[in-house]
Structure 1
Amino acid sequence: MILTSALLSYLGITALNIAGTSLGLLPMGICLLCLVAIFVLQLQHSRPGADLVPPVRKRITLGVQALLTYLPVMVFESQWGAMAGFLAGSLLLLLPPRVAWPMYGAVGLSMLAPPAIDGRPLIDSIYLFQSTLLTGLVVYGLSRLAALVRQLHETKNELARMAVTKERLRISRNLHDLLGYSLSAITLKSELIHRLVLTQPQRAKAEIEDVLALSRQSLADVRRVSRGLRDMSLQSELASVTGLLEATDVKVSTEVRLDELGPEVNTVLAAVLREAITNMLRHSRATECSIEAVQDCGRVRLVVTNDGVAAVYRDTSQDSGAGLQNLAMRLRSVSGRLTIAHGSDGTFRLTAEAPVAFVAAPREAGEEAFRRPRAEEPSTLPCTGPAA
């Protein structure tokens, strides 16, 4: 709108200057037609992306504008000189800088001639030269400004779309991490209740109470997803998953040496433990599981190892998710890392390491948050010693 108003103002000034002369109706009509043609051409040259059109089309439109700039000078003399500024601006908009700026200067210099031919003072030639260059810069600047404003609006809309997508991914990831374990536990306990309800009613009743507690917790988790992933405790999750595995006849061994963890790291590692147990229950026939949670030298390491995994592990089920990738992203957000190892004897090991207290660190180029080492590759901490 600003660019269009400025162009119309320049055209109006030129029309008023020529209307003040003693020319007849026919020259005035030709003047108006030329002004309209220049206005249309300038709008084409000033639109966003005009510099990307084919070179042939650029040469044609610039050639037509040059003719409409210089030929009317023979009739309207210096009164038409303002239109040279439009041509100068178009050259800057459409041509490469190394070509555009010399031609821009040449257009300005060419406007020294009309006042001299008319016998006007030298000051008029200098004025027309300077006004031509100034008009060219105004046309160029306003055109670029309009393109930048449009690009800014497009970028703003794209950022809004990205924010919506990011929020959807966050909700999806939180639902997966929070509910995957709970729903798997409810399913397993329900199957256990189905087997026990006739033979061991008292134990079945106790399992039903656990299912009710899990259901209530799942409902609360869903309500909290809109506020982000709730704070979770690694210690609490260790107790919860140990009870679940024992109820499903999986032999569990644990080694826990933990002090107080930062809230972010505590939540992430608790989510890692949940996802590891969920994957084990869904994708293996585990009979033994070992869980190690050790804090040492300012870092904490969580290792979950289980057996009962196929020789070549590949989850091709329709319901397979991206739990490990989600957890790798979470660990990377607290300067940690996630590694997995698949042994030839059917064992599966998941290792998560992170600093005890999260300190933001720059992300190294090419660093991978998730990798698959060889089964024999050890997962080590930077140093060994007594628990922190």
Structure 2
Amino acid sequence: MNQARAFAHTHKHSEQTAPPVVDEPTPRAVAVLRVVILCLLIVPLPARVLAAGRHSTAEQALFAVLLLAFVALYVRNCVPADGGRPRWWPWTLAAQVALAYVPLVVFDFRTWSVGLYLTGLALVFVRGPWRWLVAAAFSGQDLFFGEWSTTTLDAVYNIVWVVERAVLVYGLVRMAEFARELIRVRAELIATHVARERLRFGRDLHDLLGFSLSALVLKSQLALRLVERDPELAHAQFVEGLVMARQALTDVDTVAGGYRGMSLAVEAPTAHGILSAAGVAVELTVDVGVLPADADTVLATVLREGTTNVLRHSSARRCSITAFVEADGGVVLTLANDGLRFRPASDVGSGSGSGPGMGLTSLLGRLAALGGTLTAEAVGGEFHLCARIPGRRADDPVPLSDAGSAARAHEPGSSA
């Protein structure tokens, strides 16, 4: 127990290397940039014209208040919203138009020329063909007032000047929308990654710890039965149980840190010993040589799951474990036992119900990642679990990490 607590404490406080931070526009940075650019875009022209003219102190104060109100409302109208346009935008746009033209009762258009910036809001708010009609009307308004466009060249220059600023305003608003969308998509990706990691954790917890804990329970039960009748044998069972407990701790480390390599050749004798200790007569024939690491790990996982299911879900008295390499390089692993208490073979991949089918469904994903198959069926009064991985060229390996990703893609909604 102290070892388990120490292990958990170590993992809880272990430092992890943070991923590199990539410079990118955050919503706050975009908002600050938008305010600064809009102020620099709108304020200088009318302020310069006001300073060059002769106006009373009252007119200057009124001008400053109106300009401040126009800029504040303009900034507010350029704030992106979830629906694409701010709430009450028709009223705020109408107020913006009123602030652009009502002060012309006091000031001339050359002094109060903020209406030139309404083209940008037309691009932001108006949709469909009306967008271009309204934007064109606002862009050519000086042709009506005649303050700036004294010649044809001046008129063309003025229209281009207005369109440039309108495009800049539209770009600022769209950039803010893209920044918000980036945050949303990133949150979805993080949630997806967390969900996949939970599925991996649950699957590996079942596949790796299920075998070790089942063996530990078996050894403990045997030791309790023998403690009075044969203390030496009971002690031996306790020692073996301690070994399985340490193996379980190692498996916990594996689940916490990610997938690890396993060997069919190593797991086969362990399965033989565990089943024999449970009173099951075992025939073991494993002759596969050196397998690719990914195939070796998946087949060892299948063997663990099959052995665990025999211990927990069947009343088998005989069990055979056979593994061999086919002529085309494919590897076949078969577990057969006489304890028929599994679900029908048609339910193995359905993910419905409880029992061994859930673990076998997880194995289906692992094998599918390598192009393999898994079958579970009753044959001649015995239950057969057969896993096959096709052969492949030595120069065409499948990385273990890719196999794990593909296996997660084949998993059902519930963890193993």
- TM-score where L is the length of structure 1: 0.78
Aligned equivalent of 1:63: 94
Deviates more, 1:10-19 or 1:168-177: 168-177
* Match for residue 46 of structure 1 among 70, 78, 82: 78
Name the stretch that deviates more: 131-140 or 56-65: 56-65
Q: Percent identity?
A: 32
SS at match of 1:16: helix
The 3-state SS of whatever aligns with 1:77 is coil
- Aligned pair in 2 of structure 1 residues 271, 146: CA closer, same or farther (>3 Å)? same
Do the aligned residues in 2 keep the contact of 1:108 with 1:129 (CA within 8 Å)? yes
**Superposed CA offset, 1:41-94 (max 9, x none):** 33333222265358x933333233233334445633134334432x22222223
Q: Structure 1 residue 266: deviation in Å?
A: 0.8
CA separation in 2, counterparts of 1:138 and 1:35? Answer: 20
Equivalences for 1:119-134 in 2 at 5 Å? 120-134=150-164
Query: Which has the higher mean CA deviation after the structures are superposed, 12-21 or 304-313?
Result: 304-313
Aligned to 1:299: 330
1:288-342 per-residue CA deviation (whole Å, 9 max, x = no partner) reads 333332322232233334323167898658xx9953343333333334344444x
Of 260-269 and 57-66, more deviation after overlay is shown by 57-66
Q: What residue number does 1:352 align with?
A: 387
Deviation (angstroms), 1:241: 0.8
- In structure 1, what is the equivalent of residue 242 of structure 2? 212
Is the 8 Å Cα contact of residues 288 and 325 (structure 2) preserved in structure 1? yes
The Cα of 1:188 is off from its aligned counterpart by 0.9
* Aligned partner letter, 2:138: V
Q: Residue 377 of structure 1 corresponds to which residue in structure 2?
A: none
Counterpart residue number, 1:139 = 169
- The verdict on how the C-alpha distance between 1:70 and 1:303 changes in structure 2, with shifts beyond 3 A counting, is farther
| Superposed displacement of residue 99, structure 1 | 3.5
| CA 1:64–1:50: 2 relative to 1, 3 Å | farther
Counterpart Cα distance in 2 of 1:63 and 1:339: 70
1:24 aligns with: 56
User: What whole-Å deviation, never above 9, does each CA across 1:22-57 have from its counterpart, x for those lacking one?
Assistant: 233444344334333333333333222265358x93
The Cα of 1:191 is off from its aligned counterpart by 0.9
Q: Give the 3 Å change call, closer, same or farther, for CA 349–17 of structure 1 in structure 2.
A: farther
Q: Are the counterparts in 1 of residues 343 and 357 from structure 2 also a CA contact under 8 Å?
A: no
Q: Residue 15 of structure 1: which of 22, 47, 55 is its match?
A: 47
Contact 1:51 1:94 in 2 (8 A): no
Measured after TM superposition, the shift of residue 106 of structure 1 is 2.9
Q: What is the letter of the counterpart of residue 298 of structure 1?
A: G
Q: Does 1:240 align with 2:270?
A: yes
The whole-number CA distance in structure 1 between the counterparts of 2:204 and 2:387 is 18
Q: Whole-Å Cα distance in 1 between the matches of residues 299 and 161 of structure 2?
A: 69
Answer yes or no: is the 8 Å Cα contact 2:142–2:148 preserved in 1.
no
> What are the equivalent positions in structure 2 for 1:1-388 lying under 5 Å apart?
1-13=32-44, 14-49=46-81, 51-53=83-85, 57-73=88-104, 75-85=107-117, 87-114=118-145, 116=146, 120-160=150-190, 162-296=192-326, 297-306=328-337, 307-309=339-341, 323-341=359-377, 343=378, 348-356=383-391, 358-359=397-398
Tell me, which stretches of 5 or more residues in structure 2 are unaligned?
1-31
Hey, what's the Cα distance between the residues in 1 that align with 2:354 and 2:360? 15
* SS state at 2:325 partner: strand
Number of aligned residues? 362
Distance in 2 between residues matched to 1:310 and 1:194, nearest whole Å: 29
CA contact (8 A) 2:372 2:387 kept: yes
CA contact (8 A) 1:111 1:132 kept: no
Give the direction of change, closer, same or farther, for the CA distance of 1:131–1:229 in structure 2 (3 Å limit): same
Q: Using a 3 Å threshold, how does the CA distance of structure 1 residues 117 and 356 change in structure 2: closer, same or farther?
A: same
- Go from structure 1 to structure 2 and tell me whether the alpha carbon gap of 1:194 and 1:134 turns closer, same or farther (over 3 Å shift): same
Shift of 1:170: 3.7
**Which 5+ residue runs of structure 1 have no aligned equivalent?**
371-388
Q: Distance in 2 between matches of 1:157 and 1:267?
A: 33
Q: Relative to 1, partners in 2 of residues 1:51 and 1:189: Cα closer, same or farther, differing over 3 Å?
A: closer
> Equivalents in 1 of 2:48, 2:82: separation in Å?
30
How far did 1:15 drift? 2.8
Distance in 1, matches of 2:226 and 2:315, equals 21
Q: Aligned equivalents of 1:101 and 1:347: distance in 2? A: 77
| Cα shift readout 1:195-251 (whole Å, capped 9, x = no counterpart) | 223334444343233222222222233334443222110121121112211211223
Deviations, residues 174-205 of structure 1 (Å, cap 9, x unaligned): 33322210110010121122222333444434
Distance in 2 separating the partners of 1:339 and 1:88 = 68
Query: What per-residue deviation string (whole Å, max 9, x for no partner) do you get for residues 325-382 of structure 1?
Result: 43333333334344444x5998654333334454379999xx9668xxxxxxxxxxxx
